[in-house]
Amino acid sequence: MIAGSNRPAPPPRKKAHGPTEIFRKDESMLGSSLLGYSLEVIAGLLLLIWGADRFVHGAAATARNLGVAPLLIGLTIVAFATSAPEILVSIVAALRGEPGIAFGNAIGSNIANIGLVLGAVALVSPIELRSATLRREMSALLAVSLLVVSLFLDTYLSVVDGAVMLAGLIIVMIWLTKLGIRSAASDPLRSDYEAEIPKHVKMPMAIFWLLLGLATLLVGADLLVDGASEIAKMFGVSEVVIGISLVAIGTSLPELAVSLVSALKKEFGLAIGNIVGSNIFNLLAVIGVAATIAPTAISPSVLSLHIFVMVAFTLVLFAMTYDYDDKGRMSRLEGGALLFAYMAYMGYVFLGNT
């Protein structure tokens, strides 16, 4: 036997991790993190959609049980409740120190409501506008849009700006209440809301849905903002862009569902009224709350592009539905044009931030 042949074999040497192995490990961790945040966003959106439906149902039923007229419920309570996802997302984002998501959400939701929602609805069924009440409400939307633009021009949203918007919200609520009281009994919008406001819902059950919907909205908003902000950090995309695109589209899904169903039922006043009311509350309540909680400088991209795109879509909607010849109507061609313009805008936003 050769001397030393019974010695144990030396342990295998550990293989050093090269740059490729380290890159693959980091890539795997990045992929798992992205998947986790994406699931968080999806869960938040689903909770927001379901919670918004229950919150609107509970709020409308509660108001009806208290004897509020259906048209007043539609013009004020339903419009406010439909904007609840945007409002709660704004509050959560502002409290987290991420007001860019809140501002982007409000502006992006208004653009999505007109370009995506009404564009898609008009493609499904041409929209007829026969309500004098709704025409006045559209004028209010245009005035509110111009007010918000004027507050944006100094590139900073202060607590005072937020207070101005919230004061404007109170004024608009009072004006909408008077508008609903004075509206003609023959106004088509009145019958649309009369048909859709929940009936025969007992008060305890109405309050239950109201509170459950609100709690679900809070959880959904927290998940959505957390996931969206982390995705923005991973890809180096600004909070404003995430708010205008991902968050805005998600929070506009309840409006899309309501407007599509209303159009299929030929309740055209409700289809547009849902959007107009939601856009007014998005600007005054969502941005107003965010500015009050977390005053901040405004991103240059908001002033140079996004706010003016929002005003342009609002002006186009006003022009398309204006009663030139007693036939206020949005055709399929006009709906297709709105949808195409929205897709082009989204494409520009993504390409410019990739």
- pLDDT tens, 310-340? 999 999 988 887 765 556 678 889 889 999 9
- pLDDT tens, 122-144? 888 888 777 777 778 888 899 99
d(CA 193, CA 270): 7
Residues 248, 104 contacting (CB under 8 angstroms): yes
Q: What is the pLDDT of residue 338?
A: 93
Structure tokens at 313: 């879509």
Tell me the pLDDT band of 23, cut-offs 50, 70 and 90: very low
Q: What is the pLDDT of residue 1?
A: 47
- pLDDT tens, 343-352? 999 988 888 7
94 assigned to some structural domain? yes
pLDDT average, residue stretch 267-277: 79
222 assigned to some structural domain? yes
CATH of the domain at 319: 1.20.1420.30
DSSP class of residue 155? S
Element counts in the chain: helices (H) and strands (E): 18, 4
H helix runs in 199-321, sequence order: 203-235, 239-242, 248-251, 253-264, 268-281, 288-293, 300-301, 307-320
The residues near 111 (Cβ < 8 Å, ≥ 6 apart) are 244, 248, 306, 309, 310, 313, 342, 345
Residues 204, 62 contacting (CB under 8 angstroms): no
2 assigned to some structural domain? no
20 assigned to some structural domain? no
Residues 296, 102 contacting (CB under 8 angstroms): no
pTM, full prediction: 0.82
User: What percent of the chain clears pLDDT 90, i.e. is strictly above it?
Assistant: 19
Q: What is the pLDDT of residue 27?
A: 57
Q: What is the pLDDT of residue 9?
A: 58
- pLDDT tens, 211-220? 998 899 889 8
d(CA 52, CA 137): 23
pLDDT for 225 beyond 70: yes
What's the domain range around 219?
Answer: 32-352
Q: What is the pLDDT of residue 354?
A: 57
Number of domains the chain is built from? 1
Q: Give 58's Cβ-side CA count (13 Å radius).
A: 20
22 assigned to some structural domain? no
- pLDDT tens, 193-213? 777 788 888 999 999 998 998
Rg (CA), the chain: 25
4 assigned to some structural domain? no
Tell me the pLDDT band of 34, cut-offs 50, 70 and 90: confident
Residue pointed to by tokens 């108001």: 63
280 assigned to some structural domain? yes
- pLDDT tens, 152-192? 988 899 999 999 999 999 999 888 888 877 776 667 777 77
Q: What is the pLDDT of residue 81?
A: 80
pLDDT for 2 beyond 50: no
pLDDT for 5 beyond 80: no
pLDDT for 73 beyond 70: yes
Q: What is the pLDDT of residue 345?
A: 93
8 assigned to some structural domain? no
Q: What is the pLDDT of residue 162?
A: 93
Query: Average model confidence (pLDDT) for the chain?
Result: 82
